[in-house]
Amino acid sequence: WWTSGGEAAALNVLKEDLSKEGFAWKDVPVAGGGGDAAMTALKAMVAAGTYPTASQMLGYTVLDYAQAGVMGDLTETAKKEGWDKSVPAALQKFSVYDGKWVAAPVNVHSVNWLWINKAVMDKIGGTEPKTFDDLIALLDKAKAAGVIPLALGGQNWQEATMFDSIVLSTGGPEFYKKAFNDLDEEALKSDTMKKSFDNLAKIIQYVDPNFSGRDWNLATAMVIKGDALVQVMGDWAKGEFVAAKKTPDTDFLCYRFPGTDGSVIYNSDMFGMFNVPD
């Protein structure tokens, strides 16, 4: 699902590397950031028995297909290349199943970022927000200046990505891990979680009326063009700024989501290989 300008540029690096090793790459891209549409297409292919050789996946999807017994075994290659030493243990939890490597991580994304148009920031006299209240005050400045404060696409994964940062900001890393990693019932039903939802309700008021269904890269383009001040998005957004030939600190600014300095929410794109006939 790497179909935006920045994503396509990154994918081409992988294609070129494989080409140098004598492999041809033939893909069927399924547009839609977050991969929901791609995973729906993959599920249909697997159900029909028409497995692809490989597919881009995120962690829990890899484990689901591994449990179903349809993933290939990459252990021989992994041992030869020392993946156990080069891949962080946190990623191995999702790329190794039952002692076998079933997927190859290709990146580690940092998620809790703000992306800001510098010209708009200068125009409204804004400064880096250090707290959630600072962020709300900054969004109010943009609104008063007639600029869309928050660029967002109303898609589940985009709102969940922003909520991730809000929960980390509201409750801190230990609360985040209890709630989202351990699924601790007390944390999930706590006043801190309620406040996190309240903060989500506050920030969502700063989007434009047409946000519903917008792809993430189109929201990034709003910041790039100066139509909006800020986007809450993972570090893959930088690829869109670079593809638009924008320069950090000159054209755009990037800050940790307020209240999350020192913590990193991460995810990793992986390529899982399927058991297919030789």
CATH class of domain segment(s) 113-262:
alpha beta
> Domain locations in the chain?
5-108+268-273, 113-262
Tens of pLDDT, residue by residue over 116-152, are 999 999 999 999 999 999 999 999 999 999 999 999 9
List CB contacts of 143: < 8 A, sequence separation 6 or more. 149, 206
The reply to whether 113-262 shares the fold of 5-108+268-273 is: yes
Q: How far apart are CA 116 and CA 228, in angstroms?
A: 8
Tens of pLDDT, residue by residue over 16-32, are 888 898 888 888 878 76
pLDDT above 70 (res 34) = no
Q: How far apart are CA 159 and CA 152, in angstroms?
A: 8
Task: Give the residue with greater pLDDT, 81 vs 8.
Answer: 81
* Mean pLDDT rounded to a whole number for the chain: 92
The CATH topology of domain 5-108+268-273 is D-Maltodextrin-Binding Protein; domain 2 (3.40.190)
Percent of the chain with pLDDT strictly greater than 70: 98
One-letter amino acid of 49 = G
CB atoms within 10 A of CB 38: 22
45: confidence class by pLDDT, cuts 50, 70, 90: confident
Tens of pLDDT, residue by residue over 200-240, are 999 999 999 999 889 899 999 999 999 999 999 999 999 99
pTM of the model: 0.84
